[in-house]
Structure 1
């Protein structure tokens, strides 16, 4: 390759639906990244909660290399050993009895929503088609999932959108009770809203959703695309609450950086996704399945899951100490290593202003809307990296305050 790609090439050759930072990372190891100039960063963004084991984890690299020399892709005209092993691992580790493999969270949620409507059609008739989700939720970028997501800005200009979709208020059970009826086929909810601001569900809310769904013979769908695979401190967040969904979607951390996703359900419900009803060309390909299985085997251990909780406390301690000095946060919240710091009234809407300052200090972070700083680091980030990352964040916050 004679031409070295630059950030300018993005503006020249790619559609403008993203606005990437000016730095171009070229190498990663653990929780560290290096850009084209050789500058080092600590990564607390994690590819938006994807790089659950950091960059180039030996177990994932090993699985990729080993499988890469055997078999990559067959399509679903055939099955393959890694896909079967991955599906069995997911079943053994969760409530599920059946697994559908695909390539992204949007695909998994699309499959879940189609399955919910098909199950209702099969068992109750075509009138049972209503779906309830929640304002400020996010479920993907397909036309179906973006409509179910409770943020109209993502569907504006793409209409007409799918119908029979209603939005209630998150953590407000009465708002659901006002909408749900016997024509409701499903309620879709994130156990913790991610893009909506890192807002955990309450125990009573999820228990109430389960009861309402049972009362009206509707399916309860948990979108665990962002909270799943150890991110919350358990393999899946539903396990914190003791509330079991009928369908669960998982992606992001599942592949540890490789595009992998899955929809999990029961034998009875999964039967409605019969031959020819749905599919994914790349879903369950051998290469991705081998990597995802390796990621699950590392993450689903007491050492890693207990470590997530310990790291959460360390991050919280540092965020609270920074806030004591600078008063920039109103609330620090989240579960495990998906954390959000809501900006105080004096810094309303300024979470995005932290990101370029953090980059200059050698730190990569995220936001969840304009008012929440979001952290989604590797689940195995070393404590020394947390200490250094928080020192860099404090320098960025100090500059934010000084410029205000």
Structure 2
């Protein structure tokens, strides 16, 4: 059997996308444009609305970022200098702290742990949160042991008596001796120190529709069963909570809270005290759910998330991998709600489309320095990627953060144009939603009333890919459906988006809608047999 080179990378994926014309080779890119290799060997310009799944807020091969990359390479910048001072990474952390302080109105320091991708940044946050949880549990157990010792001494000296409530709480008869009760209580406490004890297993919470990566740990925080269920036995499972349902979130917290019995000595009485053991590891939230269909979290739900996480002492991890670095019209999309986290994860656009870098910011109140001794990454915080990230931050923050205003204005103009298409074809497009330059176009479910092709592709989750293929070949526009909502097209262009590019997208969507309304399958799929690239 002879294999071609293309058969050794993503073979099945390429076979699948070739059916809808997405098996295209791109030869170069700049701004919002990519050039595809035509069948005649020439180049065909394509407007890119995918932008590296949100990695290109400043566009493909931004000239200033490219210049910085060349400068760093030309002066032999050390990429590998592990276990040394990393001034470039420290400068990135300082710059991000200034932005956090401005956008969230706080002066609390945020420690930076660097990584290589968004999924790794999420795993850093969860690993750190679990270390913090275990340390908080250990501190609580030490305190309870001290209280039991104090109670033993008071009872032995005759300065305190055991309250009947202690025996009742422990399920002991009223005739049980105080020493027996305290022994039983101590045994319970020590059982909590067993890492295999199911009562103190970490509780991870995420939202229905959420996406936080596809690594071994992060995949368990991603809601889509297609991605998650083949690997459920590999790591801790997440409890998924519906979006905009604070009642459901409270119910999960109440159901999972785990009491730990303690005692107090006061006014000559040893009484029982019930404390909540720290079982909640983290609650993960995207300010706008990207793969879930570009679904913004409402300010009202954000307020409830903030309140409930504080009430139950559950750290909030705000996943800004896709929404961060200015795409929303602010650096942190969470600041627009507002929704303040204990952890923030950043990646994608932070690397300017050239460097693979990510960072997890951890607020001082949660930070555990011990984490630095048990987590590391070969390429994290290297001078090259940090130097690129510094240039990205410089460009975003220039002129008082003018880039954020451009993202908001361009996003509003894009939504306006798409809403005009939806008004003409409200039977075809059911919704247009998003924040800034993260916009979703949701097509109505026509699996029961559409053409044979629509009835076949929508239930199979292939409809969005078919529309993407049509727009690519017929209108030279590159879009893609979201991973967990295949009827929704994702639009994540850079701030260089022009009115002409917006108009071109609107024109292409109008034709798609007209074809779907006419149920013209021949027109919808004609490009498959007449490809020019």
Verify same fold: TM over 0.5: yes
Report what 2:403 is aligned to: 304
Tell me whether 1:114 sits opposite 2:109 in the alignment. Answer: no
Report what 2:364 is aligned to: 267
Tell me whether 1:314 sits opposite 2:413 in the alignment. Answer: yes
Tell me the distance in 2 between the aligned counterparts of 1:262 and 1:332.
31
Report what 2:153 is aligned to: none
Bigger Rg, which one: 2
Cα 1:22–1:128 shift into 2, 3 Å: closer
Render the CA deviation track for 1:58-100: whole Å, top value 9, x for unaligned. Answer: 1211110111123141243223332222111111111552111
Tell me whether 1:156 sits opposite 2:161 in the alignment. Answer: no
Offset of residue 372 of structure 1: 0.5
Tell me whether 1:386 sits opposite 2:502 in the alignment. Answer: yes
SS state of the match for residue 85, structure 1? helix
Report what 1:366 is aligned to: 480
Tell me the distance in 1 between the aligned counterparts of 2:347 and 2:487.
25
SS state of the match for residue 154, structure 1? helix
Q: Does the 8 Å contact 1:330/1:343 carry over to 2? A: yes
Find runs of 4+ consecutive structure 1 residues off by over 6 angstroms. none
Render the CA deviation track for 1:306-343: whole Å, top value 9, x for unaligned. Answer: 11111112111211222233332111101000000111
Report what 1:140 is aligned to: 213
For structure 2, list consecutive stretches of 5 or more residues without a partner in the other structure: 102-108, 139-194, 258-275, 522-533
Cα 1:214–1:234 shift into 2, 3 Å: same
Offset of residue 164 of structure 1: 5.0
Give 1:58-69 correspondences, 5 Å limit.
Answer: 58-69=63-74
| Equivalences, count | 396
| Aligned counterpart in structure 1 of residue 287 of structure 2, from 191, 203, 221 | 191
Q: Does the 8 Å contact 2:126/2:281 carry over to 1? A: no
TM value normalised by structure 2: 0.71
| Aligned counterpart in structure 1 of residue 58 of structure 2, from 46, 53, 65 | 53
Single out whichever of 73-82 and 106-115 deviates more from structure 2.
Answer: 73-82
Tell me the distance in 1 between the aligned counterparts of 2:497 and 2:437.
10
Tell me the distance in 1 between the aligned counterparts of 2:12 and 2:330.
34
Report what 2:329 is aligned to: 233
Q: Does the 8 Å contact 1:135/1:168 carry over to 2? A: yes
Tell me the distance in 1 between the aligned counterparts of 2:13 and 2:391.
31
Offset of residue 397 of structure 1: 4.2
Tell me whether 1:354 sits opposite 2:453 in the alignment. Answer: no
Offset of residue 16 of structure 1: 3.5
Report what 2:423 is aligned to: 324
Offset of residue 122 of structure 1: 0.9
Render the CA deviation track for 1:125-154: whole Å, top value 9, x for unaligned. Answer: 462621111222110111110011112211
TM value normalised by structure 1: 0.92
Offset of residue 345 of structure 1: 3.3
Q: Does the 8 Å contact 2:49/2:477 carry over to 1? A: yes
Q: Does the 8 Å contact 2:328/2:438 carry over to 1? A: yes
Tell me the distance in 2 between the aligned counterparts of 1:23 and 1:164.
38
Q: Does the 8 Å contact 2:357/2:385 carry over to 1? A: yes
Report what 1:86 is aligned to: 92
Tell me the distance in 2 between the aligned counterparts of 1:399 and 1:292.
44
| Aligned counterpart in structure 1 of residue 241 of structure 2, from 156, 168, 175 | 168
Q: Does the 8 Å contact 1:115/1:273 carry over to 2? A: no
For structure 1, list consecutive stretches of 5 or more residues without a partner in the other structure: 1-7
Tell me whether 1:375 sits opposite 2:471 in the alignment. Answer: no
